[in-house]
Amino acid sequence: MDNGTHYRTCHLCEAMCGVAIEVKDGHIASIKGDDNDPLSKGHICPKAVALQDLHEDPERLRQPMRKTASGWQKIGWDEAFDLVARRLHQTRKEYGRNSIGVYLGNPNVHNHGSLVATMPFLRAIGSQNRFSATSNDQLPHMLASLEMFGHQILFPIPDIDNTDLFICIGANPMASNGSLMTVPDVRGRLKALKQRGGKLVVIDPRRTETAKLADEFHFIRPGNDALLLMAMVNTLFEENLVDPGPAERLVKDLELLQLAAVPYTPEAVSGHTGIEAETIRDLARQLASTRKAALYSRMGTSTQAFGGLATWLAYCLNILTGKLDTVGGVLFTQPAIDLVALGAMSGQNGHFDKRRSRVRDLPEFAGEYPASTMADEILTPGDGQIRAFVTVAGNPVLSSPNGRRLEQAFEKLDFMVSVDYYLNETTRHADVILPPTAALERSHYDLIFSMFAVRNYAKYSEALFEPREDAKHDWQILLELAHRLEQQRKGGRLPLRSELGWRAFKQIGPDPILDLLLRSGPYGADTGPARKLLQPAVDLVMDILPERHPLRGLARLSPVNRQWNALPKGLSLSALRDNPHGVDLGPLQPSLPDRLFTRDGLIHLAPRRYLRDLGRLHKHLVSEPDDQLCLIGRRHVRSNNSWMHNSRRLVKGKDRCTLMLHPDDAERLGLAGGESAEVQGAGEAIVLPVEITPDIMPGVASMPHGWGHDRQGTGLSVASAHAGASINDVLEDNQIDQLSGTSVLNGQSVTVRVWRSGKQRHSA
């Protein structure tokens, strides 16, 4: 890279901030916010500097590694690919295709090359035993989108820049910078909301950094959001406040929802939620009476015992009060590369519960089983038992519940391979590690988070540094493995056509595919006269074809679709290269009914599976509220899941892996601030320092996830020196939201006691 300033998207979290990276003599001299980025306008968070730390980290692996009796050994790529393909194929041949397990971690969705290569890779593996971070995260949102709108990644995004009331439940965007809402500089945007007279309401078991900006804040007892939201639905019907507005003619099963809400009066849920009945009514009234309002829920409401119901009800509330498809409410985006429409075109709207996992009979979602059952599938003997495992950009030992059990499971495998550039808590169990290039050595286009942004926006970044000659991108690794696995399956040789196909794919890579998708997308290069000619035909097609016809999908997608006539045109890869700060494609726009993908073209307010799960919620409603201490998670702006603790600049300062306790609980337990507490779930106990604060609800303890770097045999010296403890060593993997299969990461009961230093502490 020549000296000068390079503009780029920060890929670390969902906010997609534009960064300006200054390079001098082949090194990064500074990383600043890009003032000319139309979405982030110069905003960055403290993590942006970690782009440099990650790039320069001497402990980042740069060559394939093989575990031997005498330790890790560097090997060449060809040898590594051969070994991995051979071992995986052997397992498959001996025990069947489902004997290979695959786990895909979060950074995959920040990497367009991986996204393009994942599908052929998974096909080549051919196993149904797939897992990902989704079931520890946003699965309930995907399920609600699938059930209600007909497509698993069609999310209603809060129009935060235009709203007058933002109700934020179970999310802390001030720390996380937003999720399923790409919102760089959320502080600035919330400040602007207040300046125009708007209001921020936060509902959380902890008075979070976001809550501290709120005009109104309510503690909620963890795991009870479905009750709160049901009582808000109940109030809307009781007080005749239901008015779906733009969605009026499109909603189906309104009466079923009304009926379902009957038992959940504000009085009935008040004990469990810890929120007064009148406050609940007032929340419902405010939402109904503010024309531009958005109710937003995230991690805290999705990864809990009633995550499926809570997320569904959050969507329902926006619809019942006319916020869906309203400027200032929640809207569907229109991204330049429209994976929603592309998916629908090929019949890939998503699916749920098409098959069930072998050991615990849990439903698949989008072809994946819940991460909480990974260890069961490895440890339980029988037909279909997982014997070899692949992780790609994931650290499930720290990120999935009961990480200790998962570690035991990984040790039982015949073979394990990790595509990852760190020797960490997960990859230390692998036999082979295949490290990809670092992010600054590859180009970047945010295929996923462009779809969730609070403004339509497109940006492409060139690689900043030339990769080393022997380095491989994630997509190259995945395609090479896929190719070799296919060859093995066919006895060593592929038919000429498919051999050529694989070679071509490996030659081309993801960027020409981006170009094709950009050009043929809604903002694609203007087809000029051809468009005039084609337009009548396309209009006809749209009018006469049945909703689900593939041709209709094609027409919907093409830049000549009349629905998109008003959109700016001309996007292509070269157009994006000419605009290195990114291209603003305008504010979110109403898009109903065109953007619905349900078979009947309607919004399903009361899908059966939610109604069926209400039995469980009702049982909870009529149970006695318990007073056990329960554990929840939190995020900090200087940390990102489990894998950025090797950056000295990010981990410096005071210990952030602390157990927050309310003063009343601390007193009851005899714990003073700074003292070590032992936290015990059903399995392991962990030890961490206590932080006493009135900002946490009595009866609730909070600690961050992604720590616990004291395991032996990793190659992360900075992280190990700031080890912390892993919340997922305490959380059980048998607690899931029974509707969706999502892990319960918030609200599990724990016992906390003073830790006496004489006692044996778990050693890795």
Residues that bind ligand SF4 (CB under 6 A): 10, 12-13, 15-17, 44-45, 47-48, 177, 184
634 binds ligand MGD (CB under 6 A): yes
Residue 74, judged by CB atoms within 10 A of its CB (0-12, 13-18, 19+), counts as exposed
Q: Which is nearer to ligand MGD, 156 or 524 (CB)?
A: 156
206 binds ligand MGD (CB under 6 A): yes
Binding Mo ion (rule: CB under 5 A), the pick from 137, 185, 486, 729 is 137
For the window 70-109, what string marks contact with ligand MGD as x by the rule CB under 6 A? Answer: -----------------------------------xxx--
Q: Which is nearer to ligand MGD, 133 or 251 (CB)?
A: 133
311 binds ligand MGD (CB under 6 A): no
203 binds ligand MGD (CB under 6 A): yes
Q: Where are the beta strands (DSSP E) in 641-709?
A: 659-661, 676-680, 685-692, 700-704
Q: Which is nearer to ligand SF4, 107 or 266 (CB)?
A: 107
Q: Where are the beta strands (DSSP E) in 313-398?
A: 330-331, 352-356, 363-365, 388-392
170 binds ligand MGD (CB under 6 A): yes
Question: Closest approach of Cβ 183 to Mo ion, in Å?
Answer: 15
d(CA 728, CA 726): 5
d(CA 30, CA 35): 15
> How is residue 421 written in tokens?
């550039």
Question: Closest approach of Cβ 501 to ligand MGD, in Å?
Answer: 24
Q: Which residues contact 493 (CB under 8 A, 6 or more apart)?
A: 487, 499
Question: In 3-state terms, what secondary structure has residue 758?
Answer: coil
Binding ligand MGD (rule: CB under 6 A), the pick from 140, 150, 274, 300 is 300
**Among 254, 281, 253, residue whose Cα is nearest residue 265:** 281
Q: Which residues contact 549 (CB under 8 A, 6 or more apart)?
A: none
373 binds ligand MGD (CB under 6 A): no
705 binds ligand MGD (CB under 6 A): yes
Question: Closest approach of Cβ 730 to ligand MGD, in Å?
Answer: 9
End-to-end Cα spacing for the chain = 42
Q: Which does 44 bind (CB under 5 to 8 A by kind): ligand MGD, Mo ion, ligand SF4, none?
A: ligand SF4
Longest CA–CA separation in the chain, Å: 83
Answer positive or negative: Cα dihedral of 369, 370, 375, 381: negative
113 binds ligand MGD (CB under 6 A): no
d(CA 504, CA 111): 21
- Give the Å distances, CA to CA, from 79 to 102, 266, 539: 22, 64, 55
| Selected range binding Mo ion among 122-130, 132-140, 202-210, 420-428, rule: CB under 5 A | 132-140
For the window 561-600, what string marks contact with ligand MGD as x by the rule CB under 6 A? Answer: ----------------------------------------
Cα torsion at 186, 188, 189, 193 (round to 10°)? Answer: 130
Question: Closest approach of Cβ 638 to ligand SF4, in Å?
Answer: 10
DSSP 183-227: -SSHHHHHHHHHHTT-EEEEE-SB--TTGGG-SEEE---TT-HHH
Beta bridge partners of 677: 688, 754
Rg (CA), the chain: 25
**Among 753, 756, 763, 735, residue whose Cα is nearest residue 136:** 735
d(CA 256, CA 320): 13
Q: Which is nearer to ligand MGD, 178 or 363 (CB)?
A: 178
Question: Closest approach of Cβ 543 to ligand MGD, in Å?
Answer: 41
Q: Which is nearer to ligand MGD, 20 or 295 (CB)?
A: 295
Cα torsion at 487, 493, 494, 499 (round to 10°)? Answer: 90
Q: Which does 480 bind (CB under 5 to 8 A by kind): Mo ion, ligand MGD, ligand SF4, none?
A: none
| Selected range binding Mo ion among 130-138, 150-158, 504-512, 618-626, rule: CB under 5 A | 130-138
For the window 79-118, what string marks contact with Mo ion as x by the rule CB under 5 A? Answer: ----------------------------------------
DSSP for residue 329 = S
Amino acid identity, position 563:
Q
Cβ–Cβ under 8 Å, residues 358 and 384: yes
Question: Closest approach of Cβ 177 to ligand SF4, in Å?
Answer: 4
Q: Which residues contact 582 (CB under 8 A, 6 or more apart)?
A: 9, 18, 37, 38, 39, 457, 458, 459, 576
| Selected range binding ligand MGD among 116-124, 391-399, 532-540, 544-552, rule: CB under 6 A | 391-399
Question: In 3-state terms, what secondary structure has residue 637?
Answer: coil
Cβ–Cβ under 8 Å, residues 552 and 545: yes
Q: Which does 173 bind (CB under 5 to 8 A by kind): ligand MGD, ligand SF4, Mo ion, none?
A: ligand MGD
633 binds ligand MGD (CB under 6 A): yes
Question: Closest approach of Cβ 180 to ligand MGD, in Å?
Answer: 8
d(CA 473, CA 516): 21
Residue whose token pair is 């990461």: 745
Q: Which does 12 bind (CB under 5 to 8 A by kind): ligand SF4, Mo ion, ligand MGD, none?
A: ligand SF4
Q: Which is nearer to Mo ion, 65 or 157 (CB)?
A: 157
Answer positive or negative: Cα dihedral of 742, 744, 746, 747: positive
**Among 462, 476, 446, 442, residue whose Cα is nearest residue 574:** 462
Question: Closest approach of Cβ 594 to ligand MGD, in Å?
Answer: 29
The footprint of Mo ion on this chain (CB under 5 A) covers a number of residues equal to: 1
Q: Which does 184 bind (CB under 5 to 8 A by kind): Mo ion, ligand MGD, ligand SF4, none?
A: ligand SF4
Question: Closest approach of Cβ 435 to ligand MGD, in Å?
Answer: 8
| Selected range binding ligand MGD among 184-192, 330-338, 390-398, 517-525, rule: CB under 6 A | 390-398
443 binds ligand MGD (CB under 6 A): no
Residue whose token pair is 């709160």: 228
Q: Which does 643 bind (CB under 5 to 8 A by kind): Mo ion, ligand MGD, ligand SF4, none?
A: ligand MGD
**Among 204, 193, 121, residue whose Cα is nearest residue 480:** 121
Question: Which parts of 641-660 interact with ligand MGD (CB under 6 A)?
Answer: 641-643
Q: Which is nearer to ligand MGD, 133 or 242 (CB)?
A: 133
Give me the residues that bind Mo ion (CB under 5 A), please.
Answer: 137
Give me the residues that bind ligand MGD (CB under 6 A), please.
Answer: 13-14, 105-107, 111, 133, 136-137, 169-173, 175-177, 179, 203-206, 208, 220, 222-223, 225, 298-301, 304, 392-396, 399, 419-422, 424, 436, 439, 474, 632-637, 639-643, 705-706, 727-728, 731, 745-747
